[in-house]
Amino acid sequence: MTSTATTSPAVTAIAARATGVTKAYGTGDARVLALDDVDVAIEAGRFTAIMGPSGSGKSTLLHVLAGLDRPSAGTITIGDADITEMSDKQLTLLRRDRIGFIFQAFNLLPTLTAAENIALPSKIAGRQPDPLWVQSVVETVGLGDRLSHRPSELSGGQQQRVAAARALAGKPDIVFADEPTGALDSRSGEELLRFLQHAVREMNQTVVMVTHDPAAAAHADRVLFLSDGDIVDEMHNPTSDEVLEYMKKLGA
Ligand SMILES: Nc1ncnc2c1ncn2[C@@H]1O[C@H](COP(=O)(O)OP(=O)(O)OP(=O)(O)O)[C@@H](O)[C@H]1O
């Protein structure tokens, strides 16, 4: 017997969506199709990891979703906004006001303290961040008395946690992280991933992370697998071993 809808499916808000997204680089013989007709919805309040072999299109997908690069075809929405319709200026403002970024290189300003680095994006935007929110981000990131230190006085792991706190301080609609643990030792990487996990589970943030590391991907709620420019599969609440096995199947 097939059961008809006795319970309605949970309605999940979509933080970002790609529809029919293609990204080509170069022309003629040198043309590379980095993304080939990708459709994906990134759910709000969840931690999504993007994995795939080298050259499969992970960074390109992250960059077009985040409005750092424009697709050759297809549409990207952030919340209700179609960012592919936006002018460069509108896109810059959207990135500034609604998106948080964490890159492999921490990109902190060396002359500012950790606390000043965290506050900088809001300051540039002329916004007064919610002090209680910033306090909870800073407490969770566990930097304690290091907040008054400059980046050169912090370990790589501490610097990346400052960068993560900076990305979250403005309470963005979505945070994009490109290989955020790539330059960290495994213990520092684990601390950063726990912080991102906490930001999603306890603070209802939305995080999308590209990673090469199955152990990092296992911190996510959902892992998307890319191969040759398209999403070929996904896993929910995976273990590191399950992700590793699947990556072997993809020939990575
Ligand atoms: N600016 C560019 N110009 C030309 N080709 C590019 C450019 N950026 C990426 N590509 C090509 O697009 C494809 C996808 O690249 P992308 O960097 O998105 O893959 P990736 O999965 O993130 O790779 P990796 O894991 O090695 O970082 C590759 O073939 C790459 O060489």
Please tell me whether residue 43 adopts helix, strand or coil conformation: strand
Average pLDDT, integer, range 19-32: 94
Least confident span in 40-49, 130-139, 223-232: 130-139
Rounded Cα distance between 172 and 199, Å, is 11
Give the model's confidence band at 111: pLDDT under 50 very low, under 70 low, under 90 confident, else very high. very high
Question: Which residues are CB-contacts of 213 (< 8 A; sequence separation ≥ 6)?
Answer: 181, 189
Residue 106: the pLDDT is 87
CB-based burial label for 96 (10 Å; 0-12, 13-18, 19+): middle
The Cα-based distances of 132 to 108, 129, 211 in angstroms read 23, 9, 31
- Please report, as a single letter, which amino acid is at residue 5: A
Q: 137 C-alpha to center of ligand 1: Å? A: 33
Ligand 1 in reach of 60 Cβ (< 6 A): yes
Q: 59 C-alpha to center of ligand 1: Å? A: 7
Q: Which domains does the chain have, with CATH numbers?
A: 47-56+87-249 (3.40.50.300)
Measured by CA distance, the residue closest to atom 30 of ligand 1 is: 55
Give the model's confidence band at 46: pLDDT under 50 very low, under 70 low, under 90 confident, else very high. very high
Q: How many CB atoms lie within 10 A of CB 194?
A: 13
Residue 1: the pLDDT is 41
Residue 119 pLDDT exceeds 60 = yes
Indicate which atom in ligand 1 lies nearest the CA of residue 212: 25
pLDDT digits (tens, 9 = 90+) for 211-221: 999 999 999 99
Measured by CA distance, the residue closest to atom 1 of ligand 1 is: 25
What is the full DSSP assignment across 160-182? HHHHHHHHHHT--SEEEEESTTT
pLDDT digits (tens, 9 = 90+) for 143-194: 888 899 999 999 999 999 999 999 999 999 999 999 999 989 999 999 999 9
Indicate which atom in ligand 1 lies nearest the CA of residue 63: 18
Indicate which atom in ligand 1 lies nearest the CA of residue 57: 18
Q: 57 C-alpha to center of ligand 1: Å? A: 6
